């Protein structure tokens, strides 16, 4: 049975697209056929993060308008043959998306894919609403600061009341918390909310913490999902998240400041 | 010099909104004679109670009948009751009310017997988790239980008491015509007794509210003493003063 995952947050710039790309790649690497859809029509980014921007011919809106078939628009990833990308249109806006159109595309994808990751745009308007409407699971991406937490809370309210599952009174969307750009040192100084603070406000199942990392920016710039950088802390954190989502029991990492040994302190660059 | 006594700096009046409870006189007949007779009988039983009391005339039951509003008013005035307006009634009836400058009030959405106040706020059910009480309650209390967190931007309205076994997020709003019980953190707004019940209370195990209100008497976060923050409290009214007490 295919599952639709929405990666959402309310607030912009917290790491939705980075997370979508990493999670989709992670699931595909595990052998699951995965599609990742960019719902940010007009502000197309996902293809850049996944490094397939030069292979975009048709897009999501073309498929909805039946100007292209789904197979024509899906871009197969060069690094992993289980991963497919459906890019957003850059020349249109969110009004080009319709509920029926999105539903039709997702239903067709469900026939052949195991996981469908929907990269939601920021905000709570049309694009974000359509991205989450058909979802089974929601990854709520939050930064450890108050405005991001508030917006995530708002988004959780919308997930609980305006999704298809809510409207049909089915089992509600399963919600997971992903805390991104976490910096234990700044938490210790009281400059950032801690995992406990955020959990206290959102009361949500924590799927993982992604540390603030230079690797994320490098990965974005080079068009490689950060999960492929197995040496980096952020890459490992995303791998953990994929494992936990698939049911593995992995202890949380990157929550506490790394203790530096004597040599670490001496040879710190 | 002499005419400068009323300086412009002193305001002559002020508009304020206020909720009052007014008796409603439901009219069941257009026969003014029998109406007048029965009214006289009734008033005789408690003359002091009715003397100069104000009353709202409800015409919903006679709206498709031919009513002489002027005669009806005369009959009411005769027993020294003062009508302050009408509600309901046909277009023609409302027209004649306008002619004699009698205010016309809206009919509340709730059944007329249940609601003393003029308007009833629109209930907003936020999610499938709340008791979907779309049916109008027959008489008094229907309590609402919410077990899920109430998220920023959500609103919950309860006709009776509201019991929440999770937290209320900042930016959320919970309202009840009766009491509000929150077994968790209250970070949003809580308004109890929204139809004017001054005996309603708010109970909360962790007060961090943006605003608390009972029967329209409110206090914002800034005015809540720090000593009550993040503690279990009950909040009630004492002679129009909002009291917060640790429990």
- The answer to whether residues B144 and B124 touch, using CB atoms and an 8 Å cutoff, is no
Q: Does B63 touch chain A (CB under 8 A)?
A: no
Exposure string of A64-103, with b = 16+ CB inside 10 Å and e = fewer, is: beeebebeebbbebeebebbbbbbbbbebebebbeeebbe
Q: What is the pLDDT of residue A124?
A: 93
Q: B19 to chain A nearest CA, in Å? A: 32
Strand order in the sheet with A34-38: A75-76, A83-86, A34-38, A115-119, A3-8, A137-142, A174-182, A205-211
In chain A, count H helices and then E strands.
13, 8
Report strand pairing: B155-158 vs A75-76.
unpaired
CA–CA distance, B90 with A139 (Å, rounded to integer): 56
Which tokens belong to A70?
């789904």
Residue ranges, chain A, pLDDT below 70: 259-269
CA-to-CA dists, residue B66 to A67, B73, B76, B93, B100, angstroms: 65, 15, 18, 8, 17
Which residues lie closer than 8 Å to A71 by C-beta, 6 or more apart?
none
On whether the CB atoms of residues B163 and B143 are closer than 8 A, the answer is yes
Q: Provide the shortest C-alpha distance from residue B155 to chain A (in Å).
A: 10
CA distance B162 to B164: 7
Instruction: For residue A157, give the nearest of B152, B167, B187 by CB distance.
Output: B152
Q: Is this prediction's pTM over 0.80? A: no
Q: Which two tokens stand for residue A184?
A: 């234990």
Tokens standing for A36?
């990742």
Question: Is A196's Cβ below 8 Å from some Cβ in B?
Answer: no
Which tokens is B143 given?
């309590």
Pick among B125, B126, B127 to test the A interface (most A CBs inside 10 A): B127
From first to last of the 247 residues of chain B, give the pLDDT tens digit.
455 555 557 788 878 777 777 788 888 888 888 888 888 888 887 777 777 788 888 888 888 888 888 888 888 888 888 888 888 888 888 888 888 888 888 776 543 333 333 334 444 444 444 444 444 444 456 899 999 999 999 999 999 999 999 999 999 999 999 999 999 999 999 999 999 999 999 999 999 999 999 999 999 999 999 999 999 999 999 988 999 999 8
What are the chain A neighbours of B170 within 8 Å (beta carbons)?
Answer: 150, 153, 201
Token pair 């992604």 is at which residue? Answer: A210
């Amino acid at each position: 049975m295919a599952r639709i995952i929405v990666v959402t947050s309310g607030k912009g710039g917290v790491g939705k697209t980075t997370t979508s790309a990493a999670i989709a790649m992670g699931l595909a690497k595990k052998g699951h056929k995965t599609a990742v859809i960019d719902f940010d029509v007009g502000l197309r980014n996902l293809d850049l993060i996944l490094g397939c921007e030069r292979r975009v011919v048709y897009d999501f809106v073309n498929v909805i308008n039946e100007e292209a078939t789904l197979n024509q628009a899906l871009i197969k990833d060069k690094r992993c043959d289980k991963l497919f990308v459906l890019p957003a249109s850059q020349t249109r806006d969110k009004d080009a998306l319709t509920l029926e159109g999105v539903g039709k595309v997702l239903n067709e994808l469900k026939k052949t894919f195991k996981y469908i990751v929907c990269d939601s745009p920021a905000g709570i308007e049309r694009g974000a609403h359509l991205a989450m409407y058909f979802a089974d699971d929601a990854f709520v991406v939050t930064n450890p600061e108050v405005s991001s937490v508030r917006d995530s809370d708002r988004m959780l309210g919308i997930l609980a009341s305006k999704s298809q599952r809510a409207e049909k009174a089915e089992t509600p969307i399963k919600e997971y918390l992903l805390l991104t750009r976490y910096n234990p040192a700044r938490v210790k100084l009281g400059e950032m909310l801690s995992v406990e603070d955020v959990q206290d406000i959102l009361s949500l199942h924590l799927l993982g913490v992604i540390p603030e990392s230079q690797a994320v920016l490098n990965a974005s710039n080079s068009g490689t999902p950060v999960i492929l950088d197995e040496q980096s802390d952020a890459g490992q954190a995303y791998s953990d998240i994929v494992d936990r989502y698939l049911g593995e029991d992995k202890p949380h990492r990157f929550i506490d400041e790394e203790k530096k040994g004597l040599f670490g302190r001496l040879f710190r660059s | 010099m002499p005419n400068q006594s009323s300086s412009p700096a002193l305001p002559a009046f002020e508009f304020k909104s206020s909720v009052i409870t007014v008796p409603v006189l439901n009219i069941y007949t257009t026969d003014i004679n029998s109406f007048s007779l029965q009214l006289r009988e009734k008033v005789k039983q408690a003359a002091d109670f009715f003397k100069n009391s104000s009353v709202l005339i409800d015409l919903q039951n006679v709206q498709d009948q031919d009513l002489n509003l002027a005669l009806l008013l005369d009959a009411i005035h005769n027993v020294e009751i003062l009508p302050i307006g009408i509600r309901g009634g046909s277009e023609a009836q409302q027209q004649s009310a306008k002619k004699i400058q009698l205010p016309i009030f809206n009919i509340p959405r709730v059944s007329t017997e249940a609601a003393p106040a003029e308007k009833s706020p629109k209930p907003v059910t936020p999610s499938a988790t709340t008791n979907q009480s779309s049916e109008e309650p027959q008489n008094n209390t229907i309590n609402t239980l919410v077990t899920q967190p109430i998220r920023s931007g959500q609103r919950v309205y309860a006709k009776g008491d509201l019991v929440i076994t999770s937290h209320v997020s900042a930016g959320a709003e919970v309202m009840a015509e009766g009491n509000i019980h929150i077994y968790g953190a209250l970070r949003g707004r809580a308004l109890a007794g929204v139809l004017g019940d001054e005996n309603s209370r708010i109970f909360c195990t962790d007060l961090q509210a943006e605003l608390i209100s009972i029967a329209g008497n409110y206090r914002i976060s800034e005015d809540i003493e720090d000593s009550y923050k993040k503690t279990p409290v009950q909040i009630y009214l004492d002679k129009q003063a909002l009291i917060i007490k640790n429990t």
